[in-house]
Amino acid sequence: MVGYTSCGGCPGGNIEYAPEEMKKNGAEIIHLATGLLVGYPPCPYLEQFKQFIPEKYGIKVVVGTHPIPEKYKITHDVLKTWESAEWQENLKPTMSDKTVRLDYN
């Protein structure tokens, strides 16, 4: 790990500049925080971040930094926030089995 930062708040002002600094420090992959998925609402700019960073900086982007806690899955299941195919794809790297999700509660 060569660094971390927040997105800077909506609409993600740090996303425009932070990857350049991370790349200078040796970053080869940027993980977008699991919090962008589990917050309510989930980050509305996630898709743009996933496209922008590799295009501008040539750095691979992975969605998620750790498994999603079960309590967040329950909330989003009730609210039906993650029903679309797009969200299902974004959740894949962080959606572990229930035992792991419970450990992250």
Residue 4, domain member (yes or no): no
Range of the domain at 97: 13-103
Read off the pLDDT of residues 23-32 as tens digits, 9 standing for 90 and up: 999 999 999 9
Residue 1, domain member (yes or no): no
Residue 76, domain member (yes or no): yes
Read off the pLDDT of residues 63-99 as tens digits, 9 standing for 90 and up: 999 999 999 999 999 999 999 999 999 999 999 999 9
Residue 33: the pLDDT is: 94
Segment 69-73 long-range contacts (CB within 8 Å, at least 24 positions apart): 69/38, 69/101, 69/102, 69/104, 69/105, 70/98, 70/101, 70/102, 70/104, 70/105, 71/105, 72/38, 73/101
Residue 50, domain member (yes or no): yes
Residue 1: the pLDDT is: 85
Residue 75, domain member (yes or no): yes
Residue 98, domain member (yes or no): yes
Q: Write out the two tokens for 75.
A: 């909330």
**Could you report how far apart the first and last alpha carbons of the chain are, in Å?**
24
Residue 62, domain member (yes or no): yes
SS3 32: strand
Q: What percent of the chain has pLDDT over 90?
A: 94
The total number of structural domains in the chain stands at 1
Residue 58, domain member (yes or no): yes
